[in-house]
Structure 1
Amino acid sequence: MASVQLDNLRKVYPNGVVGVAGASFEVADGELLVLVGPSGCGKSTLLRMIAGLEEISSGTLRIGDRVVNEVPPKDRDIAMVFQSYALYPHMTVAENLAFGLKLRGHDRAAIAGRVAEAAKTLELDQLLDRKPGALSGGQRQRVALGRALVRKPQVFLLDEPLSNLDAKLRMSMRVEIARLHRQLGATMVYVTHDQIEAMTLGQRIVVLKDGEIQQIDTPMALYDRPANVFVATFLGSPKMNLLRGELHDGDHGLRLHVRDGIELPLSPEESMRGALHARVGQSLTVGLRPEDMRIGGDDATLPAQVEAVEPVGNEAFVNLRCGDDEIVLRQPPSGLPNPGDRVRLSHLPARAHFFDGESGMRLG
């Protein structure tokens, strides 16, 4: 296996559109790193640049100790798993697994050994004589993974490999990929637009928007300390609630004045008070996770109206409107309000996130 190093990697198309704007980070040897972001953010373009399928406009790409900017894809010692399974329909599972090795001139004994090893790892050994048409979606995806696995490359690249599967299969395949990574200790770069996939699979996550890196960190660090409003609302399900207004200071302490009759009392930790006092009179965005708000309580002051209640088993999501802002609460499934109810909300002050009202960047 090998590390992957990107130094100010850029992709600019002939029409001047910037696909990737100066990406710099390192994927450690044996790490599973996830590239995540909305459609069109540049994550697949970045992966294809690593693979050699997309030309690099500027910057330096290293795989292991080699600079590979001009190295053809076949010589980069990488294996790629695409969104589509891309299996040969007229070949059996065994033939699909072996095809790439045959093209590279491996002898029959070596091919048979690698195919048997990959089939056992992915529990395909009972399916080797079947053709893709006789397989389920999850089995086909395992064959696509196996075709990369037999190569024994330095780096695995996976481009939204689970997007064509239903929810149940996606969950089981996430577990399969995580298990495979632990077993192999492989270097993997995984692209997805699904933030749940990113949070559950990635040892670290690179969050992209409009071709630019927004933040790189571990899943829980991103969740607990998002660098800006975009990261805050992109990671987490349901997404973080945002209240925007002007910061006031008075007899009752710091308050976010959302609009007439709607104020949110703020009790920031000591480390944040100086930064907030310096912004009194300025616009501020306060973020609160759905699990950090509740209906009622002695300190409930924020008025809201219940719009919908969504029980999902062991919990429920309560959708409310506070002026023009939409708020979602995560609650136990008992004692739920009814649509149309007018309620007051409280929150955990220590769990509030503060962002500049203009730039959207995190304060503190």
Structure 2
Amino acid sequence: MAKVTLDRLRKVYPNGFVGVADATFDIADGELLVLVGPSGCGKSTLLRMIAGLETISSGELRIGERLVNEVPPKDRDIAMVFQSYALYPHMSVAENLGFGLKLRGAGKVEVDRRVREAAAMLELDALLDRKPAALSGGQRQRVALGRSLVRQPQVFLLDEPLSNLDAKLRAGMRVEIARLHRQLGTTMVYVTHDQIEAMTLGQRIVVLDKGRIQQIDTPMALYNRPANLFVATFLGSPKMNLLWGEVIERDGLRLKIAEGVELPLQPDPALRAVVQGYVGRQLTVGLRPEDMHLAPAGPDRLPARVEMVEPVGNEAFLNLGCGGCDLVIRLPPYGLPAVGDTVHLGYVPERMHFFDPASELRLDGAGDARNREHGTAPAGAHAVERRAVGDT
């Protein structure tokens, strides 16, 4: 096991494109850390830099106390599981599991022992004599995991290992990987674009967009306190609802979304002065789908038109239009309104999230007043990365 340290790690391609911009964070010894973001955000590039499969343009990468910028992949004491299973079709499961060890000169007794240990851990004991063609997708992925497991590396790197599996198998393999990590206690870095995988597997999550770190934190801290609009709308299914408009003061602070459509604002005391400073200016307010609900018509309710009803079994999603904003709310799957109906929405005031529309940063008390006074970089800029990493 080993700690992994990234210090201003940067990847710039010959055409000038910045794949990863100044990534700085530590992966603790024994931690399962997830890199997540949309396609092209730099997560796989960052993983491949740790593996040694991509050259590092600048910055330092350490595994344990050793600087490994120029160390070949085979000498970094890491094992990597790829999106494709990459099994040898002519070899049995046992031969696939032990092939890497044989290449490294391990003796027959040692190879056999490690193969059987890995097979037992992954419940592959009864499949050791089968060829890959006789295995299901989930079994093949377990063999790919086992092939890395027998190496007993300091760090496991997993690059979207479940993306080729169907939904049921993905759920099962998530449990397998989490169990495996608890059992081994080995440092793992896991790349995915699937937020469900990220939220359920990661002890901490690094959220990336366009090569830059947006925020690093525990899954629920990211969900409950997103640092900016990108994180707020990327994590969560359905995504966070955003309402925007001008802050006015009438019977307290209100967000004027459209003519006759106003949302009362009730920031907590520590944030009230900051929101007060937006009177006469634009503000973005976020509410999760579970923090809004149907309510009787009233002066402090939001009128909305039902655009679509999505029953998904144990719950239903209402897609709504409200003053030019698209909203989704999560409801029990009975007594639902029909498409075209006008409904009224209540909300949980203490679950509101406030964002500056220009910088896209979360408003969080006194620090935000300073940001407005001195100017704040956009959400994709270095300022967000420094702030997000500094908060961890």
TM-score for both structures, normalised by structure 2: 0.91
Verify the 8 A CA contact 2:264 2:300 in the aligned structure 1: no
Q: Per-residue CA shift, 1:299-325, capped at 9, x if unaligned?
A: 652111011111122211111111321
- Aligned position for 1:181: 181
* Aligned-partner SS, 1:126: helix
Distance across 2 between alignment mates of 1:301 and 1:316: 21
* Aligned-partner SS, 1:8: strand
1:277 aligns with 2:279: no
Q: Per-residue CA shift, 1:80-115, capped at 9, x if unaligned?
A: 000000000111100100110010000000000000
- Aligned position for 1:113: 113
Verify the 8 A CA contact 2:262 2:300 in the aligned structure 1: no
Distance across 1 between alignment mates of 2:80 and 2:201: 17
Moved more, 316-325 or 72-81: 316-325
Q: Per-residue CA shift, 1:136-158, capped at 9, x if unaligned?
A: 00000000000000000000000
Letter in 2 for 1:273: R
- Aligned position for 1:219: 219
- Aligned position for 1:289: 288
Shift of 1:166: 0.3
Distance across 1 between alignment mates of 2:249 and 2:78: 57
Distance across 1 between alignment mates of 2:360 and 2:299: 27
Runs of 4+ residues deviating >2 angstroms: 297-300
Verify the 8 A CA contact 1:315 1:330 in the aligned structure 2: yes
Q: Per-residue CA shift, 1:183-241, capped at 9, x if unaligned?
A: 00010000000000000000000000000000000000000000000000100111000
* Aligned-partner SS, 1:178: helix
* Aligned-partner SS, 2:39: coil
* Aligned-partner SS, 1:119: helix
Shift of 1:278: 1.2
Letter in 2 for 1:255: R
1:256 aligns with 2:255: yes
Verify the 8 A CA contact 1:61 1:69 in the aligned structure 2: yes
Distance across 2 between alignment mates of 1:10 and 1:174: 30
Please list, as runs of the form range in 1=range in 2, the aligned pairs for 1:282-361 lying within 5 A after superposition: 282-297=281-296, 300-361=300-361
Shift of 1:333: 1.6
Distance across 2 between alignment mates of 1:360 and 1:248: 20
Letter in 1 for 2:120: K
Q: Per-residue CA shift, 1:316-351, capped at 9, x if unaligned?
A: 111111132110001112221111100111111100
Moved more, 291-300 or 315-324: 291-300
Distance across 2 between alignment mates of 1:261 and 1:287: 20
Distance across 2 between alignment mates of 1:106 and 1:172: 32
Please list, as runs of the form range in 1=range in 2, the aligned pairs for 1:54-65 lying within 5 A after superposition: 54-65=54-65
Identical counterparts, % of pairs: 74
Shift of 1:271: 1.3
- Aligned position for 1:190: 190
Moved more, 296-305 or 18-27: 296-305
1:268 aligns with 2:267: yes
Distance across 2 between alignment mates of 1:109 and 1:33: 34
Verify the 8 A CA contact 2:31 2:187 in the aligned structure 1: yes
* Aligned-partner SS, 2:126: coil
Shift of 1:35: 0.2
Moved more, 276-285 or 202-211: 276-285
What stretches of structure 1 of length at least 5 have no aligned partner? Answer: none
Distance across 1 between alignment mates of 2:258 and 2:315: 31
Please list, as runs of the form range in 1=range in 2, the aligned pairs for 1:114-153 lying within 5 A after superposition: 114-153=114-153
Distance across 2 between alignment mates of 1:294 and 1:309: 14
Distance across 1 between alignment mates of 2:80 and 2:109: 24
Cα 1:131–1:112 change in 2 (3 A) is same
* Aligned-partner SS, 1:59: strand
Q: CA RMSD in A?
A: 0.9
Distance across 1 between alignment mates of 2:216 and 2:170: 24
Distance across 2 between alignment mates of 1:211 and 1:268: 33
Shift of 1:38: 0.1
Distance across 1 between alignment mates of 2:358 and 2:54: 36
Verify the 8 A CA contact 2:263 2:300 in the aligned structure 1: no
Shift of 1:69: 0.2
- Aligned position for 2:386: none
- Aligned position for 2:388: none
* Aligned-partner SS, 1:102: helix
- Aligned position for 1:362: 362
Distance across 1 between alignment mates of 2:88 and 2:121: 21
Cα 1:20–1:108 change in 2 (3 A) is same
Letter in 2 for 1:295: L
Distance across 2 between alignment mates of 1:301 and 1:110: 69
Distance across 2 between alignment mates of 1:256 and 1:24: 38
Distance across 2 between alignment mates of 1:54 and 1:338: 53
- Aligned position for 1:33: 33
